[in-house]
Amino acid sequence: MIETDIRLLEPGPGLCMDVRVARVTASDDSPDLLWKACGALQGMGLAAVRRPGTSELIVATSRTVLGFDRSGDNWRYDVEDLGKGTRLRYKRPTDRKLLVQLTERLLPMQVQRRTDLWRLGDSRTIWYEREPFVVKDGVAAYRRYEISGQSLGDTGVGIAVNIGTAFLTTWTVADFFAENVDPHEQKRRKRRFDSLSARQQGQKGTLLYDAGESLHKCYFEDFRHGIACATTGAFRVQGQDYDSLLHYYQRRHPEMDVEPDDPVAYVSFGNIDRPQPVAANRLRLRVSNESLPARLRQVDKIPPEQRRSYAEGFWERLGEEPLGPKRPRVAANFWRPKNNRLLWIQAPELAFGDSQILPAPRNASLKERTAHFRERSRILERAGCFAVPLMVTRVVHVAVPKRIGVATGARLAEDLADRLSSWTRKPVRYELVMYEDVADAVSQLRAEPNSGVVVFVIDDSGPEIYYDVAYELRDWRVKRITGDTLVGMFSKLELDAHDSRASGNGKNGRAPSCRHWDSFVEKNALEVLQHMDCVPYLPAEGLNYEAQLAIDVGHDRRYFSLSLLVRRQDSLKPQFRLETVTKSKPDHKQEAINHVILREEIVALF
Amino acid sequence: MVFEGMEPGVASSRVAAAKPASIPWSYSRRNLLQQCPLSYYFEYYGSKKRTAEAEPRKERLRFLKGLSNRHLRTGEITHLVIRTYLNRLREGEEWSLERLVSWARDMLHADVEFSRAYRPDNPLPSGPKAPALLSEFYYGTADAGHLLGEMEERLVAALTNFVGSPRIEPFRVGALNPGAEVERHFNLKQRRFSVQGMMDLAYPEEGRVVVVDWKTGGVGSPDDVLQLYSYGLEAAARFGCDLSDLALYRVGLADDEVSSFVIGERGAVRAKVRILQDLEAMAELDHYGREGVVAAFTPCGQQRVCAQCKYQQYCPKEEQP
């Protein structure tokens, strides 16, 4: 029996909700006006959703909806009650989605009323604790609750509350760009801002804008030194002219208490086409997981029992009627699906070289699975790869910046070659290429009679260098490692060696292995092994399907990857194949992959 | 057979195998692809005679390609007036601000008048002095007149600052340098790609080369440097100087702003890589475009982009979540 983070609406499949139907008459047929009308009803305390394919709204109330209208630049709509109530029933399949959507709107309204959690203006379903649970190195970590409703087949409507973590800087943008500090400190702060916002990696920097009564997400564009709220010059917002940003705040947000000398940053909002000036001391930087200080990198890993405790606390704050008075109640416990609805994804039995088999884990316990993964390394070392091409490359080039030093480069190359020789049962040697800059390395490698496999240590984590190396060495199979990672790992190795010598264990002047270094070498060697077209191990028996295809889109949506795993009966050819392709994704504003392109790439994989 | 001909083993991961070098890169082309792939198809394939030959809307697309909008048109007028001013100045004749503004206004008013009076199916006039058909009027944007009025104010402010601003004066003076080049089209061929564009102004000055990009409004984001960097690559090749000897400026005329940039070796690598990545994406789409497979070009679905698109007639409306 497992427990989910979902609570069911009572009485499960018998769920009903009384609603009214309202009609929207709008100046044009664009759907956003219907969503605007839903938002206006929400402001009146009424949850509403659009009835698909119509200009009608389903409103979660049994009382008549009072008619109203709204208008703005180039648009207008009128809302009127159609004079009829109806009852949504979960048993009617066409009503299920509407019930889920209404639930997703009703719950946040109660969260707003009954708790002190806060949210961003453009998201109703994600809420944050008011106070951070930890602050380190200028970054504050906040607990985050993400609400989502779902239809659970014959069981009813469930509400999941996913526990997460959000990171914000304690400093405002004004602090990062402060002008009243010495030039050295100014540069340091700017570097810190760039690092936390991942601007070096091409991100704009996501900001949280405290606009007094509400909080909004926006993106950093520019900080203009010497410009203050009183000196921005005139600008226009929503049809109104203002003499300056200060004038705007005084007229529109007098509660914000903005001073004439407050510095200004330019930011972009999703729904406004030009960057806008805002008070820089009202902006805090959202820190992505990749940019976190080392001391905070683990705090978003929440163990299950703690996760459960947070979710319970969330529901407790909402009381007995989390959707509001006279609304469906929520089950007191988390949903536990019956065993016949559970599917365990088991790690398969694995076949290695020398006909060695690693049995599947005996059960799903963490201990058993950890032991299974450790055993993979041991058997690979003992029995070697399942398959090694006859003409496998016997030389691995290792390109290392001269700055890092021969000793470090040679130790990496030597350990990689040792590992590869052991796994392939072939003598694999290394060629060390010490280089001044990338152009020098490319030139040395191109001078080789044949292209092959190269482990390229890049002394620069900038994405452009990363790409440049891949582009220049298109005929090579390149495994990249950053210089900082290598130096960090080697330092740990030397530190252990020092400790070891101090205790009398060091021998032969060569640093002994340490756990971090070994793990680092092993992981990189496994990837090099793949570049050498070797198969370290494979599922010992056929899987449920002959082929499995994984599709994923990169975090910035500029690339997507397809990975095809084929594992068939031993008598069929090919018995095993793994192929991964990465393609450019031109429509990076969409999460989805264009269906024509996806279809063609999948066909090409076969 | 599904698995026929498939080799056994682990294939090394591969990244897009397109051949980007065959497509010339330009900032406007990459910008359109970034903004909306469907609009990119219409502009570079659907409306072209020799590509997407089976495109049933070709004639209509060719017509829509001739539309302009308030942003494009005021940019064109600003550049035309400045180019004329600088060229006359180099010949010893200085046009007054009044003359420049009056000429610019006349062109914009002619566009508005023509666009208001335009009747569907009339052919578009051609020639350097032909008025532009503005998409705001063609598609009946509710407050088109007001929007054009706002742009006219920006246009006048831009020209006023161009002639009178002390911040912009050094560039007006620089344009008189005998080695100066004003609005020169270029086609820069590099080992891995070629770049097409037009540099607004470039001139040698005290051992360095100054490159200027005029913007009608403000200088925009300092992060958006790719266009200027591509000019820098051209200027270094054209004037035979090192990248470190380039002084790049973006001048926001209406807002009277000047931003300076230094390209450096790292900036050059970054620019080249971004160009290569753009070309990779363009190459991925190229055969779809040539064959007229319009469904491979995803509409951006962003209202504020669509509102300014000349092809909005053929754009499927996207629903918001």
* Burial class of residue B151 in the structure, from the number of CB atoms within 10 Å of its CB (0-12 exposed, 13-18 middle, 19+ buried): buried
Residues A499 and A546 in one domain: no
Confirm whether B76 is domain-assigned: yes
Confirm whether B321 is domain-assigned: no
Cβ distance of B15 and A582 shorter than 8 Å: yes
Q: What is the pLDDT of residues A510-526, one digit of tens each?
A: 556 688 899 999 999 99
Residues A420 and A525 in one domain: yes
- With a cut of 90, say whether residue B196 has pLDDT above it: yes
Residues B177 and B121 in one domain: no
Query: A111 Cβ partners below 8 Å, 6+ apart?
Result: A117, A127, A147, A318
- With a cut of 70, say whether residue A202 has pLDDT above it: no
Residues A399 and A512 in one domain: yes
Domain boundary among A538, A569, A595: A538
Residues A282 and A422 in one domain: no
Q: How many alpha carbons fall within 13 Å on the CB side of residue B83?
A: 15
Residues B128 and B152 in one domain: yes
- With a cut of 90, say whether residue B163 has pLDDT above it: yes
Residue of B10, B30, B143, B147 to mutate for A, most A C-beta atoms under 10 A: B10
Tell which residue, A344, A356, A342, has the closest CA to residue A544.
Answer: A344
Residues A365 and A437 in one domain: no
Instruction: Determine the distance in angstroms separating the CA of A9 from the nearest CA of chain B, rounded to an integer.
Output: 24
Residue of B13, B150, B256 to mutate for A, most A C-beta atoms under 10 A: B13
pLDDT value at residue A591: 85
- With a cut of 60, say whether residue B284 has pLDDT above it: yes
Can you give the CATH number for the domain in which B214 is found? 3.40.1350
E strands, B93-226, where?
Answer: 181-189, 194-205, 208-215
Q: Rounded to an integer, what distance in angstroms lies between the CA atom of residue A403 and that of residue A171?
A: 35
Residues A423 and A514 in one domain: yes
Residues B138 and B178 in one domain: no
Residues A495 and A399 in one domain: yes
Domains of chain A: total? 4
Residues B155 and B98 in one domain: yes
Confirm whether A501 is domain-assigned: yes
Domains of chain B: total? 2
Confirm whether A235 is domain-assigned: yes
B30: closest chain A residue by CA: A586
- With a cut of 70, say whether residue B234 has pLDDT above it: yes
More confident residue, B43 or A222: B43
Residues A250 and A356 in one domain: no
- With a cut of 60, say whether residue B317 has pLDDT above it: no
Q: In A338-396, where does DSSP find H-type helix?
A: 366-383
Question: CA of B188: how far to CAs of A354, B185, B235, B245, in Å?
Answer: 58, 10, 10, 19
Full residue range of the structural domain in which residue B50 is found: 24-164+298-314
Residues B195 and B224 in one domain: yes
Residues A429 and A358 in one domain: no
Q: pTM here?
A: 0.71
Residues B157 and B175 in one domain: no
pLDDT value at residue B45: 96
Instruction: Determine the distance in angstroms separating the CA of B269 from the nearest CA of chain A, rounded to an integer.
Output: 7
pLDDT value at residue A29: 67
Residues B32 and B159 in one domain: yes
B261 neighbors B249 (Cβ within 8 angstroms):
yes
How much is the average pLDDT of A565-587?
Answer: 86
Cβ distance of A577 and B33 shorter than 8 Å: no
Confirm whether B13 is domain-assigned: no
Q: Rounded to an integer, what distance in angstroms lies between the CA atom of residue A398 and that of residue A379?
A: 26
Residues of chain B positioned with their CB less than 8 A from the CB of A73: 142-143
CA gyration radius for chain B? 22
Q: What is the pLDDT of residues A238-253, one digit of tens each?
A: 778 889 999 999 998 8
Three-state SS at A227: strand
Looking at beta carbons, which pairs linking A388-394 to residues 24 or more positions away fall under 8 Å? A388/A353, A388/A424, A388/A425, A388/A426, A388/A534, A388/A535, A389/A532, A389/A533, A389/A534, A389/B9, A392/A424, A392/A426, A392/A532, A392/A533, A392/A534, A393/A428, A393/A452, A393/A453, A393/A532, A394/A426, A394/A427, A394/A428, A394/A429
Q: Rounded to an integer, what distance in angstroms lies between the CA atom of residue B19 and that of residue A584?
A: 13
Give the one of A35, A535, A586 whose C-beta lies nearest to B10's C-beta: A535
Q: What does the mean pLDDT of chain A come to?
A: 89
List the beta bridge partners of residue A242: A235
Query: A508 Cβ partners below 8 Å, 6+ apart?
Result: none
Residues A397 and A533 in one domain: yes
Question: CA of A111: how far to CAs of A23, A102, A118, A123, A314, in Å?
Answer: 28, 15, 9, 13, 9
User: Residue B181 has which token pair?
Assistant: 């080049």
Please give the angle made by the CA atoms of A572, A574 and A577, to the nearest 5 degrees: 135
A424 neighbors A384 (Cβ within 8 angstroms):
yes
Residues B193 and B148 in one domain: no
Q: What is the pLDDT of residues A30-87, one digit of tens each?
A: 677 888 899 899 889 999 999 888 889 999 999 999 999 988 767 789 999 998 889 9
Residues A444 and A561 in one domain: no
pLDDT value at residue A507: 53
Domain boundary among A233, A252, A286: A286
How much is the average pLDDT of A372-401?
Answer: 94
Cβ distance of B143 and A74 shorter than 8 Å: yes
Q: What percent of chain A has pLDDT over 90?
A: 59
Give the one of B3, B300, B320 whose C-beta lies nearest to A35's C-beta: B320
Can you give the CATH number for the domain in which A225 is found? 2.170.260.10
Confirm whether B74 is domain-assigned: yes
Residues B43 and B156 in one domain: yes
| Banded pLDDT at B18 (limits 50, 70, 90) | very low
pLDDT value at residue A199: 62
Q: What is the pLDDT of residues A138-176, one digit of tens each?
A: 999 999 999 999 999 999 999 999 999 999 999 999 999
Give the one of A266, A468, A578 whose C-beta lies nearest to B10's C-beta: A578
User: Residue B255 has which token pair?
Assistant: 């807002």
CB contact residues (below 8 A), chain A span 212-251, against chain B = 221-222
A541 neighbors A348 (Cβ within 8 angstroms):
yes
Confirm whether A204 is domain-assigned: yes
pLDDT value at residue B143: 84
Residues B59 and B121 in one domain: yes
Confirm whether B3 is domain-assigned: no
Q: Rounded to an integer, what distance in angstroms lies between the CA atom of residue A74 and that of residue B145?
A: 13
Q: Rounded to an integer, what distance in angstroms lies between the CA atom of residue B36 and that of residue A594?
A: 13
Domain boundary among A538, A567, A592: A538
Bridge-based pairing state of the strands B257-261 and B246-252: antiparallel
**How many helices, marked H, and strands, marked E, lie in chain B?**
11, 8
Confirm whether B18 is domain-assigned: no
Q: What does the mean pLDDT of chain B come to?
A: 89
- With a cut of 60, say whether residue A91 has pLDDT above it: yes
CB contact residues (below 8 A), chain A span 108-167, against chain B = none
Confirm whether B9 is domain-assigned: no
Full residue range of the structural domain in which residue A552 is found: 541-605
pLDDT value at residue B16: 45
More confident residue, B181 or A576: B181
Cβ distance of A590 and B281 shorter than 8 Å: no
Written in H, E and C, the secondary structure of A7-41 is EEECCHHHCEEEEEEEEEEECCCCHHHHHHHHHHH
H or E element: which one contains B77? helix B70-90
* Burial class of residue A355 in the structure, from the number of CB atoms within 10 Å of its CB (0-12 exposed, 13-18 middle, 19+ buried): exposed
Residues B156 and B237 in one domain: no
Residues A396 and A495 in one domain: yes
Residue of A584, A596, A602, A606 to mutate for B, most B C-beta atoms under 10 A: A584
Confirm whether A63 is domain-assigned: no
Residues B30 and B123 in one domain: yes
CA gyration radius for chain A? 30
Question: CA of B137: how far to CAs of A146, B27, B111, B144, B154, in Å?
Answer: 45, 27, 10, 6, 19
